[in-house]
Structure 1
């Protein structure tokens, strides 16, 4: 089996039974904020797109690149389709001309047969609202000799299905650097922001190392890593291995980026003993790197250039060159944004949000308070308790949750009928926000679900009763086995420090004596100290 890294979470998997193109992202995404790191624009996308099978893990734009899929990918390719509760992914691919689909069943091994032979595949589909009703997924492929698990952004809670169906995994393509805007866009002191960023960064790498242990693959390839932030306004978000002061200069010892790169994670594997040279071995791959495997044996790996040229002390200079290269591309994309003509946004936002509010009692009640949108010189209030969008009331004061967003971004998503503000405006980091109190998962779920179908699914998911009757004993505590957030197995993902529990799947935390969630509203945990 030959695996080629094509950038970010993208891979081209060549087998004797055909080729699979996975998540081919090349064009800047999220309002031109994200660019693949390292640069993959020089790859032969026509050749890569001449594939037998296409796998797009989910609809986020650093995985679903509409322009690249339309222009370069063979429309006769058979699409390996995750088992999602809403049909958005298939619908978007059909619009681009794809017409052959293998509809897989979640976490069930399927044999696909083509003109060149047979492959065994399994797609693990994540369908909780935190993944978006459009979903997230990971792909397992075996050609009978080599088994690869392309996990990309997915965070599965049950990995036993892989070993039960495929046995040993030879190659694990693993996300280690998350996609989020916290804490960079928050109105908090600089020192606090640096501390929160360091915690977020480390939790992501801790979670990735937990997955390495659970999957037990021989080879681990860090992938789906950080993008390049090449717009001048966002350049300081890149990870330079140090902090960034207000003038975008490095501050030794104060890391403010939440986006560690491949080199950093491979170092973490060594430091923490995850890369022990035998069970798990870290493998560096950059855009264009090719690795040839026979089972767990790495026969050869080749790189388009020495990888160290884009990391460590060379990284800032590399990113400066990329900033210059992509400046015209980013400028051209910005020219497509809607123009802020100053027209009031209250009425179009009422038309968008109020029908969704009317269908989502559980989510609106979970939000529980008005939310302010500061759009240039206009302020619009999303009054979730009353299910209306309105102007501010006199003397209303500061809202518990609020967002400052450039009006042209809002006008663009309204023009384009965008059903998901989280994975457009918010992931762009082209906004600022504040909150009083904890993270509100219901609020971000609402912003992901701006269609009738999505909001109905999400509201129903929250309303569904989940079994938390099973218990485990861990570090002197008896607690429910399944995390109240997304039902991760706390015997695997739970970490107890004193009287605080952290679920490393998403970094949520609980106070064990009270069961109170420290991360968000609700989501209480059942726990008691043994012997008490």
Structure 2
């Protein structure tokens, strides 16, 4: 099979008369209201990608999840006249398949976890992560000779052993290695704390990729699914942070090579074509973005896309901002109607607009009520500030709650600085998703299954499910006296009872004596 890199998380896989598009995102409008853009720019590949799909007898598209950097509705609409078969994961909360059908696709196939389909000359198998906060999927592509596993953003690192044991070896692995969330980029940390958190998350991502490579043993690794670049002048500095959460493919390559991984690490660029049978690249894309080029390239890119970014943004006068805040109060009150944890959640959330510094929507998650407030308490709260124009687009239905968080235009303060899965879920999820989210979190937190792991030579019994999003901690690893979750890098101090370093959550660690 031939694997062409389309940029970001996008690939074209071709074999014989079959073409499969994976998460294509070439639209010049970027994603998340002009916050994210492809790095390097891949807009020039759109026409050639359409032509390649047009010429195929068996046409398939796979869309891994609903985030805009994977679900490029503008580009996908251009493919509707070809009527390809569209493959999507089947999530518990319905609607993803319908979103593709609403674009005009008639053949939309929703696949459950580990379902396999024959797609012309290819066999395709999906792995679905239908967790509390994350809904995502990965795909295994098999042409009978080579096997390509594309995880994109799907952090199923606790399933690597199972995938290899049940479905056989993988020849090529592609997966995300960079950050893609609003923590810590939107959080108000002192500079030293910000750098510490960023460095820890960055290295945690790198370590997860390294562990996956060790378990799967592929001959090639393609760093992909990010990072995006940020061309809004208010976000531009994110591209240039030292040891930030948006590293380059050269950074992950250097890390992995120092760790002596067996896989060849390829710094792929848009337009690169890899021949899996010959195990070599047959075409290289025209843009080779080096570390020396990175800053001037992004700054020039920002100048070229300035009009695209600025046309989305507007200034809201105080009177208009007040109306938007009133609408936000109604929207948050509606979310509370769907948010009912079985145990009381004594937590205060304050949501406001930059344009109105002395007014907030106070969401009392314990009492499940929302009212206006004019001041913040001294302790025990989360405060989120948002641009009024961005909230207006949320209220108009132009973007969703998760999209809003991924614009990176918020400013967040936590006092104390402790993460709470349910609080974060309340902000990120759509109203109709909240009941399922609460049920999922409560299910894995109430699990009584335990496993024994070893830290500093001592055995400990811990909860098998991570209290964050339910990952299988038996596939974690030891690091500096802590046990680390394989999915999101949560660290648990087993000597201190299993407390997490960044939240009140615990895995209830008990040291196992020498006699067992």
Within the candidate set 321, 335, 356, 1:342 is matched to 321
User: Is residue 2:310 matched to residue 1:331?
Assistant: yes
Unmatched 5+ stretches in structure 1: 244-254
Could you say what secondary structure the match of 2:373 adopts? coil
Specify the alignment match of 1:247 in structure 2: none
Q: Aligned pair count?
A: 498
Aligned residue for 1:334, secondary structure, equals coil
Contact 1:484 1:525 in 2 (8 A): no
Q: Specify the alignment match of 1:249 in structure 2.
A: none
Tell me, yes or no, if the aligned pair for 2:476 and 2:483 is still in contact at 8 Å: no
- Verify: 1:458 aligned to 2:437, yes or no: yes
Aligned to 2:198: 197
Aligned counterpart, 2:260: 273
Matches within 5 A, 1:57-76: 57-72=64-79, 74-76=81-83
- The 1:408–1:49 alpha-carbon spacing in structure 2 relative to 1, beyond 3 Å, is farther
Q: Which runs of 5+ in 2 are unaligned?
A: none
Q: Report if aligned partners of 2:124, 2:141 keep a CA contact under 8 Å in 1.
A: yes
Structure-2 change in CA distance of 1:340 and 1:164 (3 Å): farther
Displacement of 1:302 after TM fit? Answer: 2.0
Q: Contact (CA 8 Å) 2:229, 2:298: kept in 1 or not?
A: yes
The range that moved more, 255-264 or 326-335, is 326-335
Distance 2:256 2:387 in 1: 40
Matching residue of 2:147: 147
Whole-Å separation in 2 of the counterparts to 1:15 and 1:340: 59
- Matches of 1:100 and 1:348 in 2, distance apart? 38
Deviation, structure 1 residue 93:
0.6
- Residue 478 of structure 2 aligns with which residue? 495
What is the aligned counterpart of 2:130 among 127, 131, 153?
A: 127
Could you tell me the TM-score, scaled by structure 2's length? 0.90
Q: Deviations over 1:59-86 (max 9, x none)?
A: 0111111111113455511111212112
Cα distance between partner residues in 2 of 1:293 and 1:510: 40
Please give the alpha-carbon distance, in whole angstroms, between the structure 2 residues aligned to 1:216 and 1:28.
34
Aligned partner (choices 385, 392, 411) of residue 432 of structure 1:
411
The equivalent residue for 1:94 is 101
Instruction: Name the CA distance, whole Å, in 2 between partners of 1:315 and 1:493.
Output: 34
2:89 aligned residue? 82
Aligned to 1:47: 51
List per-residue Cα deviations over 1:399-420 (Å, max 9, x = no partner): 62101111111111011164x4
SS at match of 1:439: coil
- Say yes or no: does 1:258 pair with 2:240: no
CA drift of 1:345 comes to: 3.7
TM-score (norm 1): 0.87
For 1:258-303, what per-residue CA distance to the aligned partner results, in whole angstroms no more than 9, with x for missing partners?
11111111111111111x3xxx111221111111111xx4143321
Partner of 2:117: 111
Q: Which residue of 2 aligns with 1:36?
A: 38
Please say if 1:401 is aligned against 2:402: no
Following superposition, the deviation at residue 206 of structure 1 comes to: 1.0
Matched, 1:449 2:429: yes
Q: Report the CA distance shift for 1:118/1:272 in structure 2 as closer, same or farther (over 3 A).
A: same
Alpha-carbon distance in 1 for matches of 2:342, 2:274: 46
Counterparts of 1:478 and 1:428, CA distance in 2 = 41
Match for residue 479 of structure 1? 461
Whole-angstrom CA distance in 1 between matches of 2:44 and 2:315? 24
Q: Could you list the per-position Cα deviations for residues 454-484 of structure 1 after superposition, in whole angstroms to 9, with x for gaps in the alignment?
A: 1221122123255442422313122234433
1:507 maps to what in 2? 489
Confirm or deny: 8 A CA contact 1:6 1:43 kept in the other structure: yes
State the partner residue of 1:365: 344
Map residues 121-270 of structure 1 onto 2, 5 A cutoff: 121-131=124-134, 135-156=135-156, 157-239=158-240, 243=241, 255-270=242-257
Q: After TM superposition, which residue ranges in structure 1, 4 or more long, deviate above 6 angstroms?
A: 335-340
Contact 2:202–2:243 under 8 Å retained in 1: no
How big is the shift at 1:129? 1.3
Q: 1:461-513 CA distances to partner (integer Å, 9 max, x unpaired)?
A: 12325544242231312223443333433343232423x32224212122213
